[in-house]
Chain A
Amino acid sequence: MRLLNRQRNIIDFTLSSLLRRKRKNTALVLVYTLVVFGLASVIFSTQALKHEACSILQKSPEVVIQRVVAGRQELIPASYIDKVKDIRGVQSAQGRFWGYYYDSTVGANYTLMVSNEPSGAEGSMVIGKGVARTLHAEKGDIVPFRAYDGSIVTLQVGYILSVQSELVSSDLVLLTENDFRQITGVPKGAFTDIAVMARNPKELTIIAEKIRRLFPDTRPIIKDDILRTYETIFDWRGGILLVILAGAMLAFVILAWDKASGLSSEERKEIGILKGIGWETSDVILMKFWEGVVISLSSFLLGCVFAYVHIFFASSALFEPVLKGWSVLYPQFRLKPYIDPLQIATLFSLTVIPYTVATIIPSWRAATMDPDSVMRL
């Protein structure tokens, strides 16, 4: 109980001691919070984006076969599909259509895909939220497309995709096979690529190897490779933001170090008084420890809470352009909260611990002075 009371008493004194330098400490907490906010925002959004994108991509085909000519992707003949189906372990193989369409009137690129749903009617399409926003289109509107041969193909908006999938569907236009061929000029008997599902996911590498041997002009891409690419992209974007924030972090480190490591003559005098009236060196260190903890922990928590609100409730308003990509079609969606405890622990150890240590060391030096120096203050 005595031990607990000792901590409580010293914390009491630390708090009233901190309140004495209200302005200075508030400014410090503000800057500190801002830095933690920046770092935590990057971590939260990168992690949540990766998590979100990966969980959506889980539903994508296990292997995608692309035909490559002169190192570039080419259309793949329909005849390849049946031969792929004959490979042992392959559950299904299906030709897919996808491509890009540049809309010069708004300067945006759309992703065109053929819907697998048989319900899609000719002349109608399903569009992503981003496309709908860019075109100011609503359900039932007619949208003109300039086809590969210069002719105009008009499609009616049948449905607008939900917000939940906006991260990967923002720029999507889903249409029927015929409409796709009409706009893009992909001839009959050819697909963009082939989606393959395997009976046993453990055999994917073997299946991919068999495909490569059967069709040397193809490139089978396993889902894990795609997921890895996505992770790298988001890590890279997070890295760019971190580099931008590095300047702010450095400025803060200098400020915090200066504040924490240098003791003013008044603080030295106070330590002398405390020693003189019977405080041990360990009591002074404990007080300074709590001082460091109160400032750094409250800034850390505030920064994390603000970052959480910023990323998961305000749609990462400040980082949107860098983190989400899409030149014109910024996806607008709320990320599902996802936090990696390891990342938080790293952030904690990079912010709270150095500050607290920087606070203790100079005080320890001052607290080891002879207590009789207080008689000469």
Chain B
Amino acid sequence: MIDVMDIRKVFNAGRPNEFVAIDGVSLAIEQRKITVLKGPSGSGKTTLLGVLGCMARPTSGRIILSDREITSLPERFLTEIRRTTFGFVFQQFNLIKGITVIENVILPAYPSGENPVVLKKRAMELLSLFNLSQKALSKVEWLSGGEAQRASIARALMNDPEVIIADEPTANLDTKLSREFMEIVSNLNGQGKTVIIASHDPIVYDSAIVDRVVEMRDGKLIAGATEK
């Protein structure tokens, strides 16, 4: 589904503080599979996740999404692909404070120009899927950690993306909530979603539902990455 070939991502290139975040990574992400990028802090997981999700351009290398080369597409097209193909779950959830849960869930769909009534209906369906219907009109800052996590997953699903990308999704959750998160991931995978998670949490990468674990260190894949 997503193929990255010999990807390099260099920050502050040519300056004294130049930093190579990803160094020559080639990887194929399979459709309808759960892939985990595992590795310590600074290993390049989040950067690779950003490249896979069309959030960042690689300094060199190629990205192919569903047989289409997207490496050099202008920002506008990449945004369109990001909005329709990927749903993001961030480490800090990144919900926008001060507005309601339902407004946060609808956010990714606002620029699509869909009818607001349809959007509200779809958001309510997602919220009820994650047992958050009662909280639809609450401000996001009133949510517990688990609720905020589920709200951010609901937001990621708003545009019905093919791929869910989650960056350290359990970093702010206790063991019980982390397991609940993996159950949700399993259900989404059951519905045909491709899931890519960056995590160094054993609850995630040791989970039975994970199809493949790719280990990274110093911006490179470790040879003989775990294949389940």
Contacts and interface: CB of A to CB of B under 8 A. Distances in A.
Interface stretch (B114-122, B169-177, B200-208): B114-122
Contact of A2 (B75, B84, B113, B159): B113
Interface stretch (B49-57, B65-73, B124-132): B49-57
A283 B111 contact: yes
Interface stretch (A9-17, A219-227, A252-260): A9-17
Interface string B144-172: 00000000000100010000000100000
Contact of A12 (B56, B88, B116): B116
Interface residues of A, number: 36
Given A8-B116, A279-B79, A370 B55 contact: yes
B113 A9 contact: yes
B116 A374 contact: no
Contact of B114 (A5, A283, A377): A5
Contact of B90 (A8, A281, A374): A374
Interface in B81-117: 82-84, 88, 90-92, 94, 96-100, 103, 106-116
Contact of A10 (B75, B91, B110): B110
A11 B120 CA distance: 15
A16 B110 contact: no
Contacts of A4: 113
A6 B94 contact: no
A371 interface: yes
Contacts of A372: 47, 50, 55-56
Interface residues of B, number: 39
B107 A375 contact: no
Contacts of A277: 83, 88, 107-108, 155
Contacts, number: 100
A13 B107 CA distance: 8
A294 B50 CA distance: 35
Nearest to B103: A16
A375 B116 contact: no
Contact of A276 (B55, B103, B115): B55
Contacts of A1: 113
A103 interface: no
Q: Which of A12, A19, A278, A281 has the most CB of B within 10 A?
A: A278
B178 interface: no
Contacts of B35: none
A345 B69 CA distance: 51
A278 B119 contact: no
Nearest to B82: A278
B228 interface: no
Interface in A1-53: 1-6, 8-10, 12-13, 16-17, 19-21
Contact of B50 (A9, A12, A281, A375): A375
A270 B113 CA distance: 20
A6 B111 contact: yes
Q: Which of B46, B107, B108, B113 has the most CB of A within 10 A?
A: B113
Contacts of B96: 270, 273
A72 interface: no
Contacts of B76: 280
A370 B46 contact: no
B90 A371 contact: no
B79 A375 contact: no
A13 B99 CA distance: 9
A8 B110 CA distance: 9
A376 B46 contact: yes
Nearest to A283: B111
A142 interface: no
Given A278-B82, A279-B79, A5 B113 contact: yes
A54 interface: no
B199 to A, nearest CB: 14
Interface of A: 1-6, 8-10, 12-13, 16-17, 19-21, 266, 269-270, 273-281, 283, 370-372, 374-377
8 contacts: A5-B115, A9-B119, A266-B97, A273-B94, A274-B107, A277-B83, A372-B55, A377-B92
Interface of B: 46-47, 49-50, 55-56, 75-76, 79-80, 82-84, 88, 90-92, 94, 96-100, 103, 106-116, 119, 155, 159, 167
Nearest 6 CB-CB pairings of A with B: A278-B83, A20-B98, A2-B113, A372-B50, A6-B113, A372-B56
Given A280-B76, A374-B90, A375-B50, 20 more contacts: A1-B113, A5-B116, A6-B110, A9-B110, A9-B119, A12-B116, A13-B103, A13-B107, A21-B98, A269-B94, A276-B55, A276-B88, A277-B88, A278-B111, A278-B159, A279-B111, A280-B75, A280-B79, A371-B55, A376-B46
